[in-house]
Structure 1
Amino acid sequence: MSELLAIVSRDADYYLMLEHILKEAGYRTMLVDIPSEAVATAEDRDAAAIIVDCQPGSPILADIASDLRERGRASDVTLIALVAEKAAYLDILKANVDESFSRPMRPARLLSYLHGAIGNSSSERTSRPVAIFDDMKLDAGGRRVLVRGAPVNLSPIDFHLLSALMGDAGRVLSRAELIGAAWPKNAFVEPRTVDVHIGRLRRALRRALGRDVIRTVPKVGYAIDIA
C-alpha cells in the first residue's frame, strides 16, 4: 500500500491541488482541517508524514511539532512545512521541522524530497511516470524518460543527472553536487567529465523536445529550466 500523507490546511482548494499532485506520484492523502487533531489523526491512520500549510502569524506548526515531541513520534513522522509568503521563517526554524518549502513551490522539489525521505511502496509509483513538465515525464522506478509518450534513450549516468536537475528544477547545481548524485560513492570524477555528460544529455533532450532546457551558468554549474 502507498504511503499516507496528512495535509494540514484550512484551504480546501490548496489541498485539492496537492492531493492531485501527490496522487499522481503514487501517494495517498488525507485533509486535516482541525490542526489540533493533526498528530492524533496521523497516528491513528499511520501517516508517514504531516505536511503543514503555514500561514503568517499562525502557531499551527509549532503546536504540531510540540505534540509530536510529547507523544514521542518526532522521529517516526516526517514533518514538512509549506511556508506562505511573509510567514515568520524564524518560527519555522524553531519548530525543528524535517524540511520546509517556500511558496510558490515547484512540485518536483517536494516529490523529490518525499521519495528520498519516506519512499513509497506503491506499485503505482513504479509503473506510472511522474510528470515533470508539459512535454516530459520521468519514471524513476522504470529508469526511463518519456517525451510526448516516446522514450528517450539515456545512459544510467545521464538519467541520474537529469533526475538530480529535475528534482531541484530551476536551481543551479554545482558539478560537485551532480557528481554526488550521478556517480557511485567515492568514485573519482573530473569536473570535465560532468560537462561531457551534460552535453550529451542536452543534445538528447534537444532532439526530443525541439528546444534547450538545460542552462549553463559559467563557473557555477547547470540548471534545468521549466517553461
Structure 2
Amino acid sequence: MGARILVVEDDEPLRLTLEHNLRKEGFTVDGLARGNEAEARIGTSVPDALVLEWSLPGISGIDLCRRLRTRAETLKLPIVLLTDVADEDERIAGLSAGADDCLVKPFSITEFVVRVKNLLRRTNPALLDHMIKVGDLTLDRAARRVHRQRREIKLGPTEYKLLEFLMSSPGKVYSRSELRASVWGDDATVDERAVDVHIGRLRKGIGLGKADTVIRTIRGAGYALSDY
C-alpha cells in the first residue's frame, strides 16, 4: 500500500519508531540494520525511497549512498541520510555523496515524516496523489484498498465509493441525495434509503467490530466523516 520505503538503521528502537510512523501515513515499510543487507535488498527490489543511517555495520550508509548514485537503477532513488553529528561539514558531505536530505539526530519524528513526504512529492508526486488519509483511515485509490490502525478493511464496491467520497472532504455534511448521486449517479431506481443501508455497512466495516463515530449522522441533514 502506498510508496515503498526502506529504513536502514542499526538503532532498533529508532528504526521501529520510524517504521511505525511511516506506516501510519499509509506507506509500505521494510526495515534493516546493516548496510550490506540493504545493498542486497535494493539489488533485487528498488524501493520508492530510502532512509539511511550514516554509520551502519557491514557497509556504512554514506558509502552505500555513493555506490547507489553510480548505478542507473538507483541514480534518482530518493535518499534521506541520518547522522549523529551536528556539523555543517558532515551534512554537506552527505549531500555531496548523493543524499537528497540529511537529518541530524535527535530529530522530530513529525519533521522526519514531513521531509520524507516532501521528498516523494518532489520526485514522484503520483505516489502521494492517490493516497487519502483522514485520522487513522488511509485509502489507496490506485490499489483500491483501505486501512485503519494498520489493519486492512474489506469493503464492498458501494461502501468503498461512499468512503472515498466522504474522505475527499472530511467534516463536510453531505445530504442523502448528494451521497446517492456520488455512487449511483442519476439512477432513479435507487432511493435515499439505500444510502442509509450502505452507510450502516460502511460503519460496521471501518468500526473494526466496535461502535464507532467516525461517520456522524447529522439529524435532518445527512452524514459527515469526522475531521478529527
Could you state the TM-score of these two structures normalised by the residue count of structure 2?
Answer: 0.49
